[in-house]
């Protein structure tokens, strides 16, 4: 099958949105817990990507059969250096020839001059696009993280009894969470995750929470906060930007209090808070290579995206 690849041009915006729209409809049909986005949400998302990056489009007989639109280069994408990222509905290929289309686009993307010096590439895809996902694997990518969703009505209304006090902390008072957030950061930096270890100072916590306007539900043993769950209005992709949806962006429990149902109690308390406000859907993003996170979240939530990563710089010893 002959494929022609072109660098994406702003004049292609409407054509690419039209190509992506059936993929969006299919995803919404598969995961009805995701609220229906505004009619122009996909168009607005694509327009924003075009303004902050570039990419390639694959054609057969002049018709679009794939797109790989990447934002970037992004400095300090990871500690390894510059990266590019294709958000949801930016990495797509027709199902019948997904491997050939994606591999051809990936090869062309590596030759785009704007991405010279890029060391890492990350692409978000829908898990049910099995042929595309298989191509990503064969092209050296691995799944790093996921977005998942559930209906709040499917979560228990009664908070499990942990013997701890469960309450809410205003974002202006989150300095109280420094110990438990620092514990989470240390845990994620250790095996098997090896994530970068951020320092959660009280000043950083206050700034970050104000930026996000976060909701924090905490578990207390006396005056000590031993667990938390944090949620915001907006998640990691444009489908989360809905008045009917809220998104978990952080959660952790001190080691001595794990395996006591504390996180489940925090999740139910968060759901009850939003249930009273008329919120319908709860989302979460998590690192799939964190076995504890994946084991917990996938008991209650269904993944609807996978984000794939691989090195994208020049090979051994290249000048």
- Return the percentage of the chain with pLDDT > 90, whole number: 68
pLDDT of residue 178: 82
Q: What is the mean pLDDT of the chain?
A: 90
89-93, 156-160, 168-172, 238-242: lowest mean pLDDT where?
A: 168-172
Query: What is the pLDDT averaged over residues 159-171?
Result: 90
Are the CB atoms for 150 and 120 separated by under 8 Å? Answer: no
Q: pTM higher than 0.85, yes or no?
A: yes
pLDDT of 312 strictly over 90: no
133-137, 143-147, 190-194, 217-221: lowest mean pLDDT where?
A: 190-194
Are the CB atoms for 72 and 53 separated by under 8 Å? Answer: yes
Are the CB atoms for 65 and 93 separated by under 8 Å? Answer: yes
pLDDT of residue 3: 92
- pLDDT tens sequence across 67-93: 999 998 777 667 667 888 999 999 999
pLDDT of residue 79: 63
pLDDT of residue 212: 77
Which residue ranges form the domains of the chain, and what is each CATH number?
4-140 (3.40.630.30), 151-303 (3.40.630.30)
- pLDDT tens sequence across 262-271: 999 999 999 9
pLDDT of 114 strictly over 80: yes
Query: What is the pLDDT averaged over residues 99-107?
Result: 96
More confident residue, 192 or 297: 297
pLDDT of 318 strictly over 60: no
pLDDT of residue 194: 66
pLDDT of 311 strictly over 90: no
pLDDT of 120 strictly over 60: yes
- Return the percentage of the chain with pLDDT > 70, whole number: 93
Peptide bond into 192 cis (omega under 30): yes
- pLDDT tens sequence across 183-235: 877 777 776 766 666 677 777 777 777 777 888 999 999 999 999 999 999 89
Closest CA to 234 of 41, 14, 11: 41
């Amino acid at each position: 099958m002959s494929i022609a690849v072109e660098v994406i041009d702003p004049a292609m915006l409407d054509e690419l949105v039209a190509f992506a729209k059936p993929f969006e409809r299919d995803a919404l049909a598969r995961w009805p817990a995701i609220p229906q986005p505004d009619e122009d949400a996909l168009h607005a998302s694509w327009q924003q990507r075009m303004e902050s990056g570039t990419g390639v489009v694959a054609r057969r007989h002049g018709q679009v059969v794939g797109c790989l639109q990447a934002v970037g280069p992004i400095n300090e994408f990871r500690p390894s250096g510059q990266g590019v990222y294709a958000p949801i509905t930016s990495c797509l290929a027709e199902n019948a020839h997904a491997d050939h289309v994606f591999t051809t686009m990936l090869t062309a993307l590596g030759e785009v001059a704007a991405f010279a010096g890029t060391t890492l590439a990350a692409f978000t895809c829908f898990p049910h696009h099995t042929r595309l996902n298989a191509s990503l694997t064969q092209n050296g990518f691995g799944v790093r993280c996921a977005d998942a969703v559930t209906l709040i009505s499917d979560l228990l209304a009664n908070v499990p009894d942990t013997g701890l006090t469960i309450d809410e902390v205003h974002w202006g008072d989150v300095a109280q969470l420094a110990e438990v957030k620092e514990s989470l950061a240390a845990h994620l930096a250790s095996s098997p995750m090896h994530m970068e270890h951020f320092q959660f100072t009280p000043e950083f916590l206050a700034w970050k929470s104000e930026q996000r306007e976060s909701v924090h539900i905490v578990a207390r043993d006396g005056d000590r906060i031993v667990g938390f769950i944090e949620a915001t209005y907006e998640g990691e992709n444009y489908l989360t930007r809905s008045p009917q949806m809220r998104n978990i962006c952080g959660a952790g429990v001190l080691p001595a209090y794990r395996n006591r149902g504390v996180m489940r109690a925090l999740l139910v308390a968060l759901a009850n808070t939003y249930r009273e406000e008329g919120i319908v859907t709860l989302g979460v993003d998590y690192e799939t290579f964190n076995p504890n996170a994946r084991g917990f979240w996938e008991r209650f939530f269904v993944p609807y995206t996978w984000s794939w990563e691989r090195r994208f710089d020049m090979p051994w010893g290249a000048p």
